[in-house]
Amino acid sequence: MTLKDLKLPSTNERITLPLIIDGSILEENLKHIHKNKTWLLKELKKQGFENYNRTVALAELDSFWNLIILKK
C-alpha cells in the first residue's frame, strides 16, 4: 500500500540525523552513519566551529550528507 492508495499527500521533506544537541555529541548517531568524533570535529572545523560544546546548539546531517549547524 502506498500514500497514493491511501489518498495521502506525499512530501519531499528529508529526514535529518542529529549529531550534536546543545553541545553534546550523540555518539550512537555517529556509529549509525559509520563515522566517528574525529570526522565530526573535522567537519565542524571546516565551517569555523572549534569549541562545539560552547558554540553549537544543533548539528545535524541531512539526507544529502550536508552538515547543518545552528549556533547557540
User: What torsion, rounded to 10 degrees, do the Cα atoms 48, 53, 55, 58 define?
Assistant: 90
User: Which among 44, 38, 45, 36 has a CA at the least distance from the CA of 69?
Assistant: 44
> Is 10 part of a structural domain of the chain?
no
The domain total for the chain is 1
> Is 3 part of a structural domain of the chain?
no
Task: For residue range 17-71, list pLDDT tens digits in order.
Answer: 999 999 999 999 999 999 999 999 999 999 999 899 999 999 999 989 999 999 9
The CATH number given to whatever domain includes residue 28 is: 3.30.240.20
> Is 5 part of a structural domain of the chain?
no
Between CA 25 and CA 13 the distance in angstroms is 25
Question: 67 is in which domain, residue-wise?
Answer: 17-71
> Is 8 part of a structural domain of the chain?
no
Q: Give the model's pLDDT for residue 41.
A: 97
> Is 63 part of a structural domain of the chain?
yes
Q: Give the model's pLDDT for residue 11.
A: 61
Between CA 45 and CA 49 the distance in angstroms is 5
> Is 1 part of a structural domain of the chain?
no
Q: Give the model's pLDDT for residue 12.
A: 60
Write down the pTM of the prediction.
Answer: 0.79
> Is 47 part of a structural domain of the chain?
yes
Paired strand residues for 31: none
